[in-house]
Amino acid sequence: MPSIRGAARLRQAFDRPGPVRIAGAHNPLGARLAERAGFDGVWSSGLEISASHGVPDADILTMSELLAVARSMAMAVDLPVVADCDAGYGNANNVMHMVRQYEAAGIAAVSIEDKPFPKLNSFVPGRQELVPIDEFAGKIAAAKAAQSHPDLMVIARIEALIAGWGMAEALRRGHAYVEAGADAVLIHAKGDSPEPIMTFLQRWRLPVPVVVVPTTYHTVTADELHRAGARMVIYANQGLRASIAAVSETFAAILRDGRTTEIEPSIAPLSTVFDLQGVARLQEQEDRFLHRR
């Protein structure tokens, strides 16, 4: 069953030495690029998927829309897919439905954050609010009660530093979520210094893995974060941002030059596109199964 396979692979990745490094993607092509680059897993990013649909990362898309993308990525790669499930799409009942659906889709881990529904992306200023600790602990317990196989990981994402509630609150929440059954906690932060995350890691004493997302505090390396105690590092949106920059430059150059000769060396050849699509396998299958005359 794919759900067990992906979740077991993620648990194995946690057992290996060094940081578990995962990359954000919003479609199977992106997931395959992460796999080829050598990442340990794929982050089914709410920001990336929302942006790829041209809408804000604010629970505008429905759970079903986000799930369809996560499922398509899990089907396209052997890597485990860690799904960003925002605030769980509602209350504890919604979370239970969500967990059953994501588990059946072959997802290795689900991450939910302690914000009210509808959430707003952590880096958008304003409306960064938290739900009460016990309400979110109830959602974590509901998620654990809903899973059908023990391997699925439930990651509790703490937004206290994003919302400006401080380190003590972040730690208090992390402890409460672990008590509720979380398999890992994700401590998120904004700002360009890794210092708050390093402090959190230093003060984190529980034997439950900590996940970090160095989007704005990007000078710190994955190895440095790992040495400080982080087990998983998520490069959540660099792929999306790279493609926005590359496509914008390419489109501008085509209009400027009136042809594509100048940019040909910097765009992927069609052979690479075919390779990523699995055209070789298509041809093998044709040789095997099409009864040509």
The residue within the footprint of Mg ion, chosen from 19, 46, 106, 209 (CB under 5 A), is 46
Question: Whole-angstrom Cα distance, residue 16 to residue 23?
Answer: 18
Tokens of 83: 């799904």
Residues that bind ligand SPV (CB under 6 A): 24, 45-48, 57, 84, 121-122, 213, 215, 236-237
Dihedral of CA 196/200/201/202: which sign? positive
Whichever of 40 and 48 has its CB closer to ligand SPV, that residue is 48
Residue 135 CB, shortest distance to ligand SPV, in Å, is 20
Q: Which of 49, 46, 40, 47 is nearest to 19 (CA)?
A: 40
Contact between residue 67 and residue 57 where contact means Cβ atoms under 8 Å apart: no
User: Among residues 114 and 175, whose Cβ is nearest to Mg ion?
Assistant: 114
Helix or strand or coil: residue 43? strand
Residue 213 interacting entry, from Mg ion, ligand SPV, none, C-beta within 5 to 8 Å by type:
ligand SPV
128 binds, among Mg ion, ligand SPV, none (CB under 5 to 8 A by kind): none
- Token pair, residue 149, equals 């196989």
Has 287 been annotated as catalytic? no
Among Mg ion, ligand SPV, none, the one that 24 touches (CB under a kind-dependent 5 to 8 A) is ligand SPV
CA–CA distances in Å: residue 142 to residues 94, 95, 182: 9, 7, 10
Query: What whole-number distance in Å separates Cα of residue 222 and Cα of residue 125?
Result: 27
Here's the x/- map for Mg ion, 65-84, by CB under 5 A: it reads as -------------------x
Q: How far is the CB of 218 from ligand SPV (least distance, A)?
A: 11
Which of Mg ion, ligand SPV, none does residue 215 bind to, with CB < 5 to 8 Å depending on kind? ligand SPV
**Residue whose token pair is 């926005």:** 244
Q: Closer to ligand SPV by CB, 56 or 250: give it.
A: 56
Contacted by 101, from Mg ion, ligand SPV, none: CB < 5 to 8 Å by type: none
CA–CA dist 9, 20 (Å, integer): 11
Q: How many residues sit in the footprint of Mg ion (CB under 5 A)?
A: 2
Q: Sign of the C-alpha dihedral, residues 230, 21, 127, 137? A: negative
Q: From the CB of 159, what's the least distance to Mg ion, in Å?
A: 10
Q: Largest Cα–Cα distance of the chain, in whole Å?
A: 74
Say if residues 24 and 57 touch (Cβ distance below 8 Å): no
Minimum CB–partner distance for residue 268 and Mg ion (Å): 28
Catalytic residue among 40, 57, 84, 151: 57
Tell me how far, at minimum, the Cβ of 222 lies from ligand SPV, in Å: 15
Catalytic machinery residues: 57
The residues binding Mg ion (CB under 5 A) are 46, 84
